[in-house]
Amino acid sequence: MTEITLLVTENQVNSLIRSTRKNLPNESCSLLLGDIVDREYRVKILKEMNNIANSEYSFNIDPDELMKVYQWASKEQLNLIGIYHSHLEGSKPSATDLTYMRINPVIWLIYELSESIFRAYILVDDNLKEVKIKFSTG
């Protein structure tokens, strides 16, 4: 069984970092839309979302805004393959994140500002697994 990987481009990474810095000190969140080929999750489009929790320690996406993205994505034949959010410190999912990971079993990509690192996770049979991130140019 091949390992699950997340494929993101350097441009996408830079754009996530930019939107994250812009929203400081609050957590920033974006949806990752794309396709899954074998077990590789390939990001095609990032959709920055408002963090309606306006919090440094959590994020929340407006359900209507989320629905609009889902509808747009299905028209474009893209899937929701991941959810991105930032942490000021710590790159592991919080207890709240884990609760929402159960509801949204996609890849969860977290950027830790204090260390400037990205980490990605997925729940497999309720076990937290780290997902390898592949950075491509483009």
Q: Which residues bind Zn ion (CB under 5 A)?
A: 94, 97
- Closest separation in Å from C-beta 68 to Zn ion: 23
- Closest separation in Å from C-beta 109 to Zn ion: 11
Give me 133's structure tokens: 């991130």
- Closest separation in Å from C-beta 97 to Zn ion: 4
Tell me if 59 sits within 8 A of 29, measured CB to CB. Answer: yes
Give me 77's structure tokens: 């034949």
Measured from the CB atom, the residue of 24 and 76 that comes closer to Zn ion is 24
Residue, CB closest to Zn ion: 97
Q: Which residue has the tokens 């497999």?
A: 124
Name the 3-class secondary structure at 55: coil
Measured from the CB atom, the residue of 97 and 113 that comes closer to Zn ion is 97
Measured from the CB atom, the residue of 41 and 111 that comes closer to Zn ion is 111
- Closest separation in Å from C-beta 90 to Zn ion: 8
Q: Which residue has the tokens 């690192």?
A: 117
CA-to-CA distance for 60 and 129, rounded, in angstroms?
23
